[in-house]
Amino acid sequence: MGSKKLVIGTLACALAPLGAWAQSSVQMYGVVDLGVSSYRGDGAGSRQMLTSGGSQASRLGFRGREDLGDGLFAGFDMESGLNADSGTGQLTNSNNQASGNSGGGGLTFNRKSFVYLQSKQWGELRLGRDYTPSFWNTFIFDPFRVGVGASTHVLHGTTVTGFRASNSVGYFSPGCSGPACQGLFYQGMVAFGENGAGPERQDGNLYGLRVGYGGTQWNAAAAITTTRNRIADDYTSINIAAAYLWNGHRFMALAAENRTGNRLAAVGNANRVRYWQLGAEWKVGNDSIPMSFMRLTRNDGASSSSQKYAVGYVHNLSKRTAIYGTYAYVDNRGSLNLPVASGAVNGPIPTAGGNASGFDVGLRHSF
């Protein structure tokens, strides 16, 4: 009898850590999205290709989460952007400056790479590479987000921190974690360019704040992010956006401004770009019709402006698989020559004041 108690006690001690381990989880997830695309630009001809990410960005990710008890959780999220048409990885950036672009071709966790502590009472603290506060509004309130219909490729100017920042410390208030926020919320971020001594020692340092309200019928948010840069006299992105849900249909509006202290030749000797966008996701059964209109103006002395029209259709074959089609048209004026799409593969860049158009037809699967 004594030996049985000894064996049971030994097994209990050996299995005790497994109770803690059982509270942890690690998940692999991703999206593979490929489509046939045809883009054209005035004076630049047309281009046909197989493209990655016409409806959702192709990616491969790993996330983990551990219950530490008393409502406290620890976890991580590492996500790599993929060019699914070629099987290659996408660029990342190490210092929030153009000099830090690296990693094209291999697997890099360029989309996200952070560790966090989260509490329902105190919110969430993140350390690593993550999305900037001003990015979220241009993503959440765009009915296309990626692909030929998205407007994000014309909105972020020349700074590499338009989407994400490396070496960052971020905080989300309780009830908020990136795109999913409930009630009144706020998000803050600081990031470091990690330069040595010298006149550019603060280049790449970033400061951002986002505040808003998330409800069941409507949500709204405003954000500002500034990236230090000596030559540009800093990059600043400001935006405000809102959405309303009516009978399953979602209507969105966004207004924003990107500016620098100095005028830059890279953006037509301008230092201010303003834009606004109206969008909707119209539900048709389990399917949806995204549509948007965007207008952009630039203070380059040539009355330059651009308008983009986009419409699409997404047919959901299941919760994880969909086929889609999108058409977009860009009307450039003045010295602007925005292509219809950009990213891993640019559409043909039209002549100044020329128009551009194109379509994506593709298949998306998530896991």
Spell out the per-residue pLDDT of the chain, length 367, in tens: 454 444 444 444 444 444 444 468 999 999 999 999 999 999 999 999 999 999 999 999 999 999 999 999 999 999 999 999 999 999 899 999 988 988 777 889 999 999 999 999 999 999 999 999 999 999 999 999 999 999 876 655 568 999 999 999 999 999 998 888 999 999 999 999 999 888 899 999 999 999 999 999 999 999 999 999 999 999 999 999 999 999 999 999 999 999 999 998 878 889 999 999 999 999 999 999 999 999 999 999 899 999 999 999 999 999 999 999 999 999 999 999 999 998 656 789 999 999 999 999 999 999 9
How many beta carbons lie within 10 A of that of residue 16, not counting itself?
10
CA-CA-CA-CA torsion sign (171, 216, 33, 342): negative
Tokens read off for 283? 């539900």
DSSP code of residue 152: G
Q: Give me the residue label for tokens 């020329």.
A: 354
pLDDT of residue 20: 47
- Between CA 139 and CA 147, with CA 144 as vertex, the angle to 5 degrees is 105
Set out the domains of the chain in order of their start, with CATH numbers.
25-366 (2.40.160.10)
Q: Give me the residue label for tokens 């470091």.
A: 192
Instruction: Round the CA-based radius of gyration of the chain to a whole number and report it.
Output: 23
- Between CA 12 and CA 22, with CA 16 as vertex, the angle to 5 degrees is 135
Strand 176-177 with 123-131, pairing: unpaired
Contacts of 8 (CB under 8 A, 6+ apart): none
pLDDT of residue 19: 46
For 153-286, list the strands marked E by DSSP. 164-172, 176-177, 180-181, 183-191, 206-214, 218-227, 235-246, 249-264, 270-284
d(C-alpha 240, C-alpha 219), whole Å: 11
What would you measure as the largest C-alpha separation in the chain, in angstroms?
Answer: 94
